Amino acid sequence: MKTNLTALSDVFKQCPRPFYKGIVLRKFNFHTHTLYSDGECLASSIAEAAEASGLAAVAITDHGPELSVGIDPAKIPLMLRDIESTREDANIPVLAGMEANVVNVDGAIDLDDEVIKKLDILVIGLHALEAPTQEELAKNYFLAIMNAMRRRRVDVVAHPFRLHSYLAPYLSPEEIDEFVKLAAKKGVAIEINSKYRVPNEELLRACLKEGVKLSIGTDAHTTAEVGMVDWQMAVLKRIGAGEDDLILNKFLR
Cα separation, 15 vs 91, in Å, equals 10
Calculate the alpha carbon distances from 197 to 166, 191, 201, 230, 240 in Å: 9, 10, 10, 12, 18
Determine, yes or no, domain membership for 14.
no
Calculate the alpha carbon distances from 11 to 8, 59, 90, 165, 240 in Å: 5, 15, 10, 38, 26
Number of domains in the chain: 1
Determine, yes or no, domain membership for 201.
yes
Determine, yes or no, domain membership for 54.
yes
Q: How many CA atoms lie within 13 A of 200 on its CB side?
A: 8
Cα separation, 146 vs 183, in Å, equals 9
Dihedral of alpha carbons 155, 122, 158, 92, sign = positive
Determine, yes or no, domain membership for 3.
no
Determine, yes or no, domain membership for 5.
no
Determine, yes or no, domain membership for 11.
no
* Residue-level pLDDT, tens digit, the chain, 253 residues: 555 544 554 544 445 444 444 557 999 999 999 999 999 999 999 999 999 999 999 999 999 999 999 999 999 999 999 999 999 999 999 999 999 999 999 999 999 999 999 999 999 999 999 999 999 999 999 999 999 999 999 999 999 999 999 999 999 999 999 999 999 999 999 999 999 999 999 999 999 999 999 999 999 999 999 999 999 999 999 999 999 999 988 887 5
Determine, yes or no, domain membership for 108.
yes
Cα separation, 47 vs 41, in Å, equals 10
Determine, yes or no, domain membership for 18.
no
CB 165 within 8 A of CB 198: no
Instruction: Return the CATH number at 232.
Output: 3.20.20.140
Residues 6+ apart with CB under 8 A from 193: 31, 158, 159, 160, 162, 217, 218, 219
Range of the domain at 90: 27-251
